[in-house]
Structure formats: structure tokens, C-alpha cells
Structure 1
Amino acid sequence: MASGSKKPIILGALGLLLVVLGAVLVFMVPVIIKQQVEKNVRIDPSSGFAYEMWRDLPVPFFMSMYVFELMNPEEFRSGMKPRLQERGPYVYRERKQKTNITFTENGTVSFLEERTFHFDPEKSVGSEDDYVVVPNLLVMVSSMMAKNSFALRIGLNIAFNIFKQDAFMNRTVKEVLWGYNDPFLNFVNNLMPGLLPFKDKFGLFADFNNSNTGVFLVNTGVEDISKVQMIDTWNGLKEVNFWNSEQANMVNGTAGQMWPPFRTPSEPLEFYSPDACRSMKLVYEKKESFRGIPTFRYTAPNYLFANGSDYPPNEGFCPCTASGVMNVSSCRFNAPLFLSFPHFYNADPLFAEAVDGLHPSEKLHSLFLDLHPLTGIPMNCSIKMQLSLYVMGIDGIKQTGAIKPVLLPILWFEESGYIDGPVYTTYYNTLIVLPVILDYLQYILIALGLCLILVAAVLPFAKQKLENNLQDAGEISQEDQLSEDAKLLEDPDFNPPLT
């Protein structure tokens, strides 16, 4: 067989091979991607960088504190509306590291998550040494606890005078957040044992720094990837006892850092928050992207802090006030503390109207979490919450004066973090670039294979046509030569050479 006749066969065979290979990739790419995702997101020391990221979060994570300073304490004491001024943010670099990691034979792993905070002056607006006027929680809370006991009110009045305690205090931001020494605290602990968990030092976040969030037992996903990160127990409990219904007390979802992969918009993100003492849900809002990585954006549903009348499933978290705030006193030592979004965003307007200086804004005060749906790993998040104290004048306690009942914002905080640095590069190349390359490669192979098959099919006809054209051209040339010779013979002046 001539070598020229082999070319179409070789090209056709090569083209068919490429088409078959591309077709195989069409079916194999989803399988490859699925296997790659499952390998990387399960909690397994051999799973690579995802395990390292889960164990010791190496990406930037910050806690930004905004303190509400009371600008008119004496007017407020006399019964006027409180006027607040937001100070901050005071930004802290937050580190979360899992310790006491113990794998069990039933496909679960237990751990403690240690957290530490370090002040970041460059990102902050102000110094930890800034002085702010804020409510004295020791006075306010103990006064509220004593409002139904005449004897207790008398005792507190005497103690307030002896220890020179007022309903308001002027302290540094560092003292307000992380604690200050106060002998009155020991007196309160002796007078009302168990009222406060603090000894010698009191601060809103005094028990946060160098602490942990309890013992989580979660599914590793090694046996069933759809259950990875899902909580089995928290501190040995499948439900807590802070609330008034079984549904409200259930420990559901994950620990709030990762979720099972292959998410769909219809699936909410559920997690248990030890600080809020309850499980919460975020719901899908829209498609987003983070530095080239496709994400789903999740936000808090309107019913998250709704009361039982507006959203019956929340009845278990009551007693409730108007919608938009959550009474967390049952898990905060019966102190009249409430959780909401900053500036009472998305709450009943009466809360913000009762205080001067609040400006609720969706842009500034709503929370979001951008999740890569394929892997269940957050790319970017901003979680915002406000802590408020219910205050009022208590008869017989002059420090509280004629304060009208009001939910007074104390501070709000934002926990934020995003994938960055080597973690982002590894994540992007492994779980984004590689699948895209494979996805394009399958179609490139099919297209190239079809082109080769087409060339192989057309090549014999093109060759035959070329040969026909050359043959036709040769015949025409011969006829032209004969015609030219005849013309010369007919020419009377033509003298043929003699041989």
C-alpha cells in the first residue's frame, strides 16, 4: 500500500482516538472532581491542605469591636432618652486552633477550639486606652436581680455607697472588653452566689480570650461525605436546656467553619453557636464570586430573631419582646442581655427610636457568608451581632434614678475572615484551575478529533481531484503543442531544419 494512502487512515484513527478520549473525559471529569473534593474536605490527616486549614485556620481572621458611648448619662438617669455615639472599630487579630483532636472508630472526631485575640492598632480607629462612658453592668444587672427583694435592694444600696459604685462608669476600652479588677465583684459573688462567672476581674469578653468554645464531636465524612463537619454532640449533649422547646434546644448543623460539599441553593447553612447558646440558619441569597472562585452568598433570614408571634418556631426562645431581638438571659446567668443585629437593623423600629444615635443600615449592619458550593468551604464572611442590656430605674436604688425602661446597646462586633495567601493559591489551583482545565480539555480533544476525522475523510477526494486536475492540465498542454506545430507547418516562411 502506498504511503500516501496510509495518511487518511492514520489521521482518521488518531481523530477517532481523540474523540473517544474526549468523550470518556466528559463522563470522567465529574467523577474526578467529585473524588478530588471528597478527598480534600473530609477530616482526615491524609487529606492534605484542607485538614491543615481545619485544624489551624491560617487565614486572616479579625474581630472588630464597636463600643456605644453614653453621651448624656445624667440626663438618661433623670428619665430622658439615651444618646449614644459609636466608637471604633477596635480591631483584634483572632486565631482559632483546634487542640485535643481525637479520632474515634465510629467516624467522628472530637476537639477543642482555642481562641486568642491580639489588638491590631493599624486596623483600629482609636486605642485600647480610649476612655468611654458605658453602663456599669455590675450595678445594672445586680439591681435588676434585686428589684423584687426589698432586703436585697437595701443591701445593694449600702454596698454601692461603700464601694463607690455608680450606674455608669468611665473606663478604657480595654477594661470594658477584657476586664478590670473590682472589689465590688467579690461582694456580689458573696451576696448572690452564681450570679456571675467572673472572679476578681469583670469584662464583657473577659472569658473569651485564651478560651475555648467547648468540646465538639463531629463527623469526619470518611464514611459518608454528606455528613462531614456535622455535629454529633457538643459538650456531650445533643441538645441544651436553655430554651423552652425541644426544637429550640437542639444542637444542629456544623461548628460554623465548614459545611458538607456539593451544596444547592435550597439547602440552608445550619450551625451551632456556643456564644449564642443556640443553633442558627443562614439562607441562600444569590450567586457571587470571590477572586475568581464561584460562591453562593448566604445571609440571615428575616425570621432569625423574630418573636414567636411573627414566626411560631421561635416560640421556644421566648419570653420575647417585639421582633428583631433575642433574649439570651437564660444562657447568660439571667442577666437581661439581648442579641440582635447592629443598630437594631431588621428589628422593630421602636428599638432604634428609643435611642438617639442609631442608624440601621443593610450595607453596614447585615451579615453574609460566601461559600464555595462545590467544597462547602467559606471564602469570605462577615458575621455581625449586637449586645444590648435592658435597663430601668429600680425603686430604692438611687444609682439607677428614674431611668425609663429601654434596651440599651452596649457594643456590636464583626467577625470577618477570607481565604488568602498560600492557602488561596493552593485552593484555587487544586479545586478551581484543575477542574476548569479538565473541563476545557475534553471539548478540545473532541473538537480536534473531529477535525482530524474530517481531514481524513476529505483527503482521498482532494488527492483524486488534484490528480485529475494535473492530468487534465497535461492533456491540454499536449493539444496546445500539436496545434502550435500545425500552425508552423502551414506557415510558407517556415523552413524546417534538415536532418
Structure 2
Amino acid sequence: MGGQARARRAAAALGVLGLLCAVLGAVMIAMLPSLMKQQVLKNVRIDPNSLSFGMWKQIPVPFYLSVYFFSVLNPDGVLQGEKPQVEERGPYVYGAAVMMENRPMSLKLIMTLAFSTLGQRAFMNRTVGEIMWGYDDPLVNLINKYFPGMFPFKGKFGLFAEVNNSNSGLFTVFTGVKDFSRIHLVDKWNGLSKVNYWHSDQCNMINGTSGQMWAPFMTPESSLEFYSPDACRSMKLIYKEPGVFQGIPTYRFVAPKTLFANGSDYPPNEGFCPCMESGIQNVSTCRFSAPLFLSHPHFYNADPVLAEAVTGLHPNQEEHSLFLDVHPVTGIPMNCSVKLQLSLYIKAVKGIGQTGSIEPVVLPLLWFGESGAMEGEPLNAFYRQLVLMPKVLHYAQYVLLGLGCALLLIPVVYQVRSQEKCYLFWSSSKKGSKDKEAIQAYSESLMTPAPKGAVLQEARL
């Protein structure tokens, strides 16, 4: 009896434990998604107490800038009208003749004389450092002295001279503390709510974020929109495919083919015109009125005519496309590679002899790739708190529910088996009493004399 009591108490205790586990698992299944969402919302907003505040204040991702220059291999032939032959190395610099095309003829003749006097040619050899960060150019100094205001810069002349040791401007963004629907969106850039470089309100709008973070809980229907000071415009990337970066699930976003399409192929881009072939964007209005064009490297995703006009270009997706890998739950970038090319439209300019017989062509100057990936302790902390812990809790809720149901079966099984034993004992006792009654009745019948007229039968072996 003592053993049965202990077994009964153990079965009851396991049943209570199972009930608690099942209830806890059910509560977690019902409440955990909401709790996790609240934790994500708390940690992605720009607040000193949030996990992402440090990432927003100082990006923990190391970025690397790679610059590839195009060197013109046949400069004399280009002056005679040949197709340019380029090699991806550098250095390369073209003079400012196209900027003078619409100036009075007298001024162009003065420029020709100045070019000759100062030894300026259409193609010159300079070091990479000079091309990027500037060099003292006697022609630029002369023009700034006698024609002030013609160039929007003074001193050294270089493609990135004006941005050396500078930032990309002051972004004013929404923190998401009061209005989460606008989290990370740019309110103003350098105090402006829109720019005035382009010819339509849509193209001048400052949309999206500053490119550091995006709103959480992304879906394949989401897009990444951000304002790029380098491109002087807002840009939008579209979802391509899911992936995994260092154990962290990601969504990959890429540039659509319409990003640098001209107004004929994509009407919303009409405001960025005057346009040329599709796949290159005219950025002259925000680059000192120089005939500069922005595109993917080697004219990837552009009209094939552009790459065919220059020998030595080999556009391909693997080397020249751009992408951002973003953790969809938090909207934080894990891995990115942004690649853009700067090209110059050149041609012979009547009145400036140094331009010779150059055929009109969009000539690549350089392309640069900016890449970065989260690594080290920031990556480990992100994985633990925003990937590993939610995953553990996700599986724990189902484990608790399954374990609880299994433990609840123990007292049920115990009770059923106990009832079966009682029934078998009762049935056995009842069957024995009936046998005794039958034997007693048979004995009594033997002692009773046969009725008159009955036939007695004898059984013989």
C-alpha cells in the first residue's frame, strides 16, 4: 500500500509540473512575439538607453575605400578622333574645355592662348594623390585671378579637393521616440528639407534615411531609401534575396536598373535631365557645372553603347554591382558594398585647339568602392542579444509546451492503469463465487430423487 501511495503522489506532482510547463509555454507563444517586438522597438530607436544608440553615434563598422582610375592609353589618337582605349589603373585628368563650350569665342581664344602659354594639354599625367586631393594648377589660378567666380573653388584643383577632411553634411533625423513610424528618416540635410539641383520637386526631395539604419521588421516588399550627398539625390534599393551573414539572417537589397535610367526609359527620372543614354546620371548641376556623369562601374546596367564607345571596359554583376545586407528584424546593416563611377563627357570644342578632333564620348575617370562589414565584439553582442536570445526563447516556448503535455499524460496513464487493476480483481472475485454456486447446485440435484415416469440413462465408458 505504501508503494502505491508514493507512486500516486509522484504522478500527481509530475502532473502539476506538466500543467505549469504547458501553461508557461502557451503564455510564451501568445505573448513572446509582442514582447520581442517591444524589445526591438526599444533598442533600435535613437535613445541613450537603446542598444543601437552607440552604433548610430559612432558606426562600429570599419569602412574601406578603394579607388580605381582609368588611364587613357591612346591620348594622341583620341585627339585625332579615335575611340578611347582605357586601362583600369590611372592616373588620368582631362582639362576644363567642355565647361567653356557655351562661352563667347573671344574667351575661348584667350583660353587657348592660356593653355599654350602654361603648357596645358588635354591629357596630363598626375599622381593619384594629386588627382584625388588636388594640386596647384597655374591655369586655375590664372582664371580665378582674372575671371573670379568662373570656378566655384579656389586653390588646389582635384576631384575630391573640396571634400578632403570634411564630412557629408549635417543630417537631422527622427529618433523614433515620439513617433516610431518616422524612425531614422531624414528631416533635413544641412538645414534643407529639399535640394534645388534638379528640375522636378520629386527629384529634389530628401527621402529615406541617412544610410546608417532603417526601420525594423522588414519584408521582401520593403525597400531601402536614403539620401546620398555624393549623388546629390535620394536613392532607392530593392529587395533581391535572403541570406546569412556570420550566422545572422539578412535581406540583400540591390540597385534597380532604373536607378540611373534616363527620362525616356523611366519618366520619374526626367527631373535629372538633360540626359544622355540610359544608365548614367548627369550630375553637372551639383558638380560645378562640369559635364560629369554618375553610373555603376564600367557602365554596368547601362546602355551597351556607352561601354562599346570605350575600349577596355568589361561590365559584370559580380565586380560592379552594389548591395546592402540588412538584418530585417532590426533594420541594421551587416554588410555593404557601394560602387559608383564618375565619368566625363568630352568632345572637340570649336575655338579651343587643344581639344583637336575628339569624338563625343562619355569617358570614365574613376570608380570607387566603399565596403564595410560588422565584425568583432559589436557583431558578437548583436548576435547574442538580437539573434541568439530570440532564437532560444522561440524554441523554449515549444519545448515547454511539449514537455508539459507529456508530463500531464503521466497521471492520466497512472489513473487508467489503476482502474484496470481494480476491474480485473473485481471480475476475478465475481467469477469464483459463481463457480461455487454452480457446484453446490449440482450436488443438491444429485441428492434429489427422480420424478415418477422419468427415464434413467446410464453412461458407460
TM-score, with normalisation over the residues of structure 1? 0.82
What per-residue deviation string (whole Å, max 9, x for no partner) do you get for residues 408-454 of structure 1?
Answer: 00000111111111110000000000000000000010011011001
Give runs of aligned pairs for residues 57-76 of structure 1, distance below 5 A: 57-76=59-78
1:151 is aligned to 2:106: yes
User: Alignment RMSD, CA only?
Assistant: 2.0
Question: Helix, strand or coil for the counterpart of 1:264?
Answer: coil
- Tell me, in whole angstroms, the C-alpha distance in 2 between the residues paired with 1:290 and 1:28: 29
Alignment match of 2:371 (pick from 410, 416, 436): 416
Of the structure 1 ranges 186-195 and 147-156, higher mean CA displacement relative to structure 2 is found in 186-195
Residue 262 of structure 1: how far off its partner (Å): 0.9
- Tell me, in whole angstroms, the C-alpha distance in 1 between the residues paired with 2:134 and 2:297: 23
Aligned length: 425
Q: Judge conservation of contact 2:99–2:289 (CA < 8 Å) in 1.
A: no
Residue 461 of structure 1: how far off its partner (Å): 3.2
- Tell me, in whole angstroms, the C-alpha distance in 1 between the residues paired with 2:148 and 2:181: 46
For 1:25, the equivalent position in structure 2 comes to 28
Alignment match of 1:356 (pick from 311, 320, 323): 311
Give runs of aligned pairs for residues 435-454 of structure 1, distance below 5 A: 435-454=390-409
Of the structure 1 ranges 193-202 and 73-82, higher mean CA displacement relative to structure 2 is found in 193-202
Of the structure 1 ranges 183-192 and 148-157, higher mean CA displacement relative to structure 2 is found in 183-192
Identity within the alignment, %: 55
Give runs of aligned pairs for residues 181-196 of structure 1, distance below 5 A: 181-196=136-151
Residue 133 of structure 1: how far off its partner (Å): 4.4
Give runs of aligned pairs for residues 152-301 of structure 1, distance below 5 A: 152-301=107-256
- Tell me, in whole angstroms, the C-alpha distance in 1 between the residues paired with 2:365 and 2:127: 14
For 2:438, the equivalent position in structure 1 comes to none
For 1:47, the equivalent position in structure 2 comes to 50
1:134 is aligned to 2:89: no
- Tell me, in whole angstroms, the C-alpha distance in 1 between the residues paired with 2:63 and 2:420: 71
For 2:453, the equivalent position in structure 1 comes to none
Question: Helix, strand or coil for the counterpart of 1:296?
Answer: strand
What per-residue deviation string (whole Å, max 9, x for no partner) do you get for residues 177-223 of structure 1?
Answer: 12112232222223443343432211111222310111211000112
Larger radius of gyration between Structure 1 and Structure 2: 2
Question: Helix, strand or coil for the counterpart of 1:19?
Answer: helix
- Tell me, in whole angstroms, the C-alpha distance in 1 between the residues paired with 2:22 and 2:310: 70
For 2:440, the equivalent position in structure 1 comes to none
Q: Judge conservation of contact 1:143–1:156 (CA < 8 Å) in 2.
A: no
- Tell me, in whole angstroms, the C-alpha distance in 2 between the residues paired with 1:289 and 1:470: 64
1:338 is aligned to 2:290: no
Amino acid paired to 1:404: E
Residue 402 of structure 1: how far off its partner (Å): 0.9
Residue 398 of structure 1: how far off its partner (Å): 1.8
- Tell me, in whole angstroms, the C-alpha distance in 2 between the residues paired with 1:149 and 1:466: 115
- Tell me, in whole angstroms, the C-alpha distance in 2 between the residues paired with 1:394 and 1:7: 99
- Segments of 5+ residues of structure 2 without an aligned counterpart are 429-461
Q: Judge conservation of contact 2:93–2:126 (CA < 8 Å) in 1.
A: no
- Tell me, in whole angstroms, the C-alpha distance in 1 between the residues paired with 2:21 and 2:164: 60
Question: Helix, strand or coil for the counterpart of 1:222?
Answer: coil
- Tell me, in whole angstroms, the C-alpha distance in 1 between the residues paired with 2:321 and 2:147: 38
Of the structure 1 ranges 402-411 and 459-468, higher mean CA displacement relative to structure 2 is found in 459-468
TM-score, with normalisation over the residues of structure 2? 0.88
Change (3 A) 1:133 1:383: closer
Q: Judge conservation of contact 2:46–2:176 (CA < 8 Å) in 1.
A: yes
Alignment match of 2:416 (pick from 437, 455, 461): 461
- Segments of 5+ residues of structure 1 without an aligned counterpart are 88-131, 474-499
- Tell me, in whole angstroms, the C-alpha distance in 1 between the residues paired with 2:49 and 2:152: 41
- Tell me, in whole angstroms, the C-alpha distance in 2 between the residues paired with 1:335 and 1:207: 14
Of the structure 1 ranges 2-11 and 17-26, higher mean CA displacement relative to structure 2 is found in 2-11
Change (3 A) 1:145 1:472: same
For 1:433, the equivalent position in structure 2 comes to 388
Of the structure 1 ranges 247-256 and 23-32, higher mean CA displacement relative to structure 2 is found in 23-32
Amino acid paired to 1:46: N
- Tell me, in whole angstroms, the C-alpha distance in 2 between the residues paired with 1:22 and 1:195: 73
Residue 334 of structure 1: how far off its partner (Å): 0.7
Give runs of aligned pairs for residues 387-426 of structure 1, distance below 5 A: 387-426=342-381
Amino acid paired to 2:60: P
Residue 145 of structure 1: how far off its partner (Å): 2.1
Amino acid paired to 1:20: V
